[in-house]
Amino acid sequence: MKFEVTKEWCMKMARLEHEHGTDVEIGAGLFAADPSTQQPEYTVQESADPRIAFGRFVRLMRRGRKQTLEKLAEDADIDITELVEIEEDSHYTPEPRTVYQLASYFAIPSAKMMQLAGLSQQRDSHLVSEAIRFAARSEKVTDLNETERSALDAFVAVLSEQK
Amino acid sequence: MSEFQIYLLEVASDAPIEGSLIEGITEANVNDWEDAWMPALARALQQLKEKGVDRRLWPQSRHWDWRRKAEAFKGLLAAPSFSIVCQGMTQGLMIVETLESCRLLQQKGKPLVYIQYLETAPWNRPGLTTERPRLTGVGTLLVRAAIELSRSEGFGGRIGLHSLPQANAWYANVCGMSDLGIDPTKENLRYFEMTPEQADAFIAKGV
CATH number for the domain spanning A69: value is 1.10.260.40
Q: What is the pLDDT at residue B164? A: 84
Q: What is the pLDDT at residue A40? A: 35
Q: Evaluate whether residue A26 is within a structural domain.
A: no
| Mean pLDDT, range A99-111, rounded to an integer | 86
Asked if A39's CB is within 8 angstroms of B162's CB, the reply is no
Q: What is the pLDDT at residue B203? A: 97
Asked if B67's CB is within 8 angstroms of A121's CB, the reply is yes
What domains, with CATH codes, occur in chain B? 3-204 (3.40.630.30)
Q: Compare B163 and A45 and report the one with higher pLDDT.
A: B163
pTM: 0.68
C-alpha to C-alpha distance for A140 and A1, rounded to whole angstroms: 56
pLDDT tens digits for range B97-116: 998 899 999 999 999 999 99
Asked if A35's CB is within 8 angstroms of B161's CB, the reply is no
| Mean pLDDT, range A59-87, rounded to an integer | 85
**Phi, psi dihedral angles at B181 (to 5 degrees):** 85, -175
Q: In whole numbers, what is the pLDDT of chain A averaged over residues?
A: 75
C-alpha to C-alpha distance for B145 and A3, rounded to whole angstroms: 7
Q: Compare A94 and B192 and report the one with higher pLDDT.
A: B192
Q: Compare A53 and B201 and report the one with higher pLDDT.
A: B201
**Total domain count, chain A:** 1
Residues of chain A found within 8 Å of residue B125, distances taken between Cβ atoms = 25
C-alpha to C-alpha distance for B147 and B141, rounded to whole angstroms: 10
Q: Which residue range forms the structural domain that includes residue A111?
A: 51-160
Confidence of residue B162 (pLDDT cuts 50, 70, 90): very high
Q: What is the pLDDT at residue B89? A: 97
Residue A79: enclosing H or E segment and its boundaries? Answer: none
Tell me if ipTM is over 0.90: yes
| Mean pLDDT, range A37-63, rounded to an integer | 62
pLDDT tens digits for range B170-193: 899 889 999 999 998 887 889 999
Interface test with A, best of B68, B116, B174 (most A CBs within 10 A): B68
Asked if B65's CB is within 8 angstroms of A119's CB, the reply is yes
Q: Evaluate whether residue A22 is within a structural domain.
A: no
Q: What is the pLDDT at residue A138? A: 60
Nearest C-alpha in A relative to B184? A30
Residues of chain B found within 8 Å of residue A10, distances taken between Cβ atoms = 6-9, 16, 137, 141, 206
Is the sign of the CA dihedral B207, B192, B92, A23 positive or negative?
positive
pLDDT tens digits for range B127-145: 776 678 899 999 999 999 9
Radius of gyration of chain A (CA): 20
Q: What is the pLDDT at residue A86? A: 85
Strand B135-136 with B3-10, pairing:
antiparallel
Asked if B174's CB is within 8 angstroms of A20's CB, the reply is yes
Q: Identify residue A82 by its one-letter amino acid code.
A: E
Q: Evaluate whether residue A111 is within a structural domain.
A: yes
C-alpha to C-alpha distance for B140 and B144, rounded to whole angstroms: 6
Q: Evaluate whether residue A20 is within a structural domain.
A: no
Q: How far is A105 from chain B (nearest CA, A)?
A: 12
Q: How far is B128 from chain A (nearest CA, A)?
A: 9
Whose CA is closest to B116, among A34, A81, A110, A140? A34
Is the sign of the CA dihedral B72, B75, B77, B82 positive or negative?
positive
Confidence of residue B147 (pLDDT cuts 50, 70, 90): very high
Whose CA is closest to B17, among B135, B144, B119? B135
User: How crowded is residue B196: how many other Cβ atoms within 10 Å of its Cβ?
Assistant: 16
Q: What is the pLDDT at residue B58? A: 75
Q: Evaluate whether residue A106 is within a structural domain.
A: yes
Q: Evaluate whether residue A43 is within a structural domain.
A: no
Q: Evaluate whether residue A15 is within a structural domain.
A: no
pLDDT tens digits for range B47-92: 887 888 777 677 777 778 898 888 888 777 788 999 999 999 999 9
User: How crowded is residue A104: how many other Cβ atoms within 10 Å of its Cβ?
Assistant: 17
Tell me whether A3 touches chain B (CB under 8 Å).
yes
Q: What is the pLDDT at residue A41? A: 36
Q: Evaluate whether residue A133 is within a structural domain.
A: yes
Give me the DSSP letters along A147-163: HHHHHHHHHHHHHH---
A160 pLDDT above the threshold of 80? no
C-alpha to C-alpha distance for A124 and A117, rounded to whole angstroms: 13
Confidence of residue A53 (pLDDT cuts 50, 70, 90): confident
For A94-153, list the strands marked E by DSSP: none
C-alpha to C-alpha distance for B195 and B145, rounded to whole angstroms: 15
Q: Identify residue B42 by its one-letter amino acid code.
A: A
Residues of chain A found within 8 Å of residue B61, distances taken between Cβ atoms = 27, 29, 31
Q: What is the pLDDT at residue A162? A: 60
Q: Tell me how far the alpha carbon of residue B121 is from its chain's centroid.
A: 10
